[in-house]
Amino acid sequence: MTPSPQRPESICLAFTGASGMAYGLRLLDCLLAADCRVSLVYSSAAQLVARQESKLELPAAPSRGRTALLERLGRDESTALQVYDVEDWKAPMASGSNPPRAMVVCPCTMGTLAAIAAGMADNLIERAADVVMKEGRKLILVPRETPFSVIHLENMLRLARAGVVILPPNPGFYQQPQNVGEMVDFVVARILDQLSVPHTLAPRWGEEH
């Protein structure tokens, strides 16, 4: 019997209303370039941030949002990207019977982080994170806030103790970045490392650069 071809990695990606949309868009582009199947969901606040920071209009309708993202990334309709409404309870990642291999919330607001830490599931982003945690899959949160309050830190500690990866977007400078794009790539590279997705975005410590 001929073995069936291996399905591409399934990654759930969420955009929330924290500053740092450049990280999320670059991560999405890299995941698609690595032939991952990406299920994307974004909040209404993320729509505002995308417009403000990236001059990107993300319509509320998932089909139109997908079109806008494919145009922004220069990809065609065959791209393995599905966009879901934040209130779509029939989305695959809303159930433990069909969880993604991993989920990344990038950027992640403190409100979303707190809701996940409290086990809330009031929208698809929170529910998908809850599913990923209970099913023992990897959850990565990229919280963009400064400074952190005691409440923020306690929520992050609670999640870290539950196995969640807390990955603040703190770029390194040993590679001597020449522009903002290289600083963004440094952070995205760390996220891809956590997902075990191959990349060549940034030199590693000890390598020629």
Domain assignment present for 127? yes
Does residue 1 surpass a pLDDT of 70? no
CATH code of the domain containing 85: 3.40.50.1950
Looking at residue 208, what is its pLDDT? Answer: 62
Q: 54: how many CB neighbours lie within 10 A of its CB?
A: 14
| 16-29 per-position pLDDT tens digit | 999 999 999 999 99
The answer to whether residue 6 scores a pLDDT higher than 60 is no
Q: What value does the mean pLDDT take over residues 119-135?
A: 97
- Say what the pLDDT of residue 191 is: 98
Phi, psi of 89 (to 5 degrees): -80, -5
Q: What gap in Å lies between CA 75 and CA 91, rounded to an integer?
A: 23
Q: Is residue 1 part of a domain?
A: no
Sheet holding 81-84, edge to edge: 81-84, 37-42, 10-15, 102-108, 138-143, 165-166
Q: Structural domain of residue 23, as residue ranges? A: 10-194
Residue 209 predicted with pLDDT over 60: no
CA neighbor of 143 nearest in space, from 57, 54, 14 = 14
> What is the number of other CB atoms lying within 10 angstroms of the CB of residue 209?
10
Residue 208 included in any domain: no
Q: Looking at residue 205, what is its pLDDT? A: 84
- This model's pTM is above 0.85: yes
| Total domains in the fold of the chain | 1
Residue 88 domain-assigned (yes or no): yes
